[in-house]
Amino acid sequence: MSVASSVLVPYASYLRVYEPLAAFPEPERTHWARYARRPRTPGAQEELRRSLADLLSTPPVPVPVHESGEAFVAHLDGVVVICPWRTRLRGWLALQELPGQFPDPVLDAMVPPVVRAQVTSDYERWLSGNPDARPWIRTAIWQVPLRWFALFGDEDRQYEPGEPAGAEAGRAPVLRYRTTMAQARRRLARALRALRESIDEGPMTEGLVEVGRWLEEFHPRALVELDFGGLVHAVTEEWLAEDRSAAQMAEGIAALRAGDGEAAGAAYGRLAERWRAVGDLRFAN
């Protein structure tokens, strides 16, 4: 497997929820209605650039001082749906996950203890006034968590090949899945039922329960999107074009429901091995 692009971006994937304007209270609803009418709204790469700019400052700014007023905009059955960036909230949540992922000296060099202490204090103060806050975007580094694929079918897959660099920079390939909230919840419920009837509680079951609780926070007519994001730069276009991870997950779940544990294990094993090879790239030179 080789790098498909020299573009330096975090190798991250994203699970996003886009809600209709009716899901937002005023005055936020009016803000997003006006925002969606802009001739151009920023994309994922622009969000990434802004985040990296803060992290490269001295000292680093792991969490923006002010919440972002930006969002991703899409359409579902002709209706505008909005996925707010909520960069500040996501920064706080990401910072909570850092301890344990890096040795203390590395963590202290990345984000000095005094900065972490101030950020934690800011978050606790903010959370006391916003106890029900939740992000519209989840992020995973060097992988797509396998449980995310349970929300989608192969028919939800959208793949756009990249364009080679010419006089201007070439466009990177795009691989994503999009489905309705109702369909995502149905698939998740079927997967949970099949797992609980066939095997003991485990990481996959726990992960699906946690994702299900998150989805319940959103409008029933929302759009759910899985975006391979920066991972498209870590693998070849052939790998992307051939990828059918959601179909493999569905195959395994269908086998479980049919009582064929051996076939289910084989399908899941192929899927896990495929993504293990991607995760291993983070340790390559």
Q: What is the 3-state secondary structure (H, E, C) of 69-91?
A: CCEEEEEECCEEEEEECCHHHHH
Q: How far apart are CA 115 and CA 108, in angstroms?
A: 9
50, 181 contact by CB (below 8 A): no
Q: How many CB atoms lie within 10 A of CB 70?
A: 16
Give 26-82 pLDDT, tens digit per residue: 999 999 999 999 998 887 777 777 766 665 565 667 777 778 899 999 999 999 999
pLDDT of 91 over the 60 cut: yes
C-alpha angle 226/135/228, rounded to 5°?
Answer: 20
The DSSP secondary-structure symbol of 231 reads: G
**Average pLDDT value for the chain:** 87
Q: What is the pLDDT confidence band of residue 106, given thresholds at 50, 70 and 90?
A: confident
Cα torsion 276, 280, 281, 282 to 10°: value is 120
85, 47 contact by CB (below 8 A): yes
Give 149-192 pLDDT, tens digit per residue: 999 999 999 999 988 765 455 688 999 999 999 999 999 999 99
Positive/negative CA dihedral, 179, 72, 215, 268: positive
- Kindly state the tokens that stand for 271: 């899927």
- Kindly state the tokens that stand for 219: 């409008």
Return the percent helix, strand and coil in the chain, to nearest 5: 50, 15, 35
**pTM of the full predicted structure?**
0.86
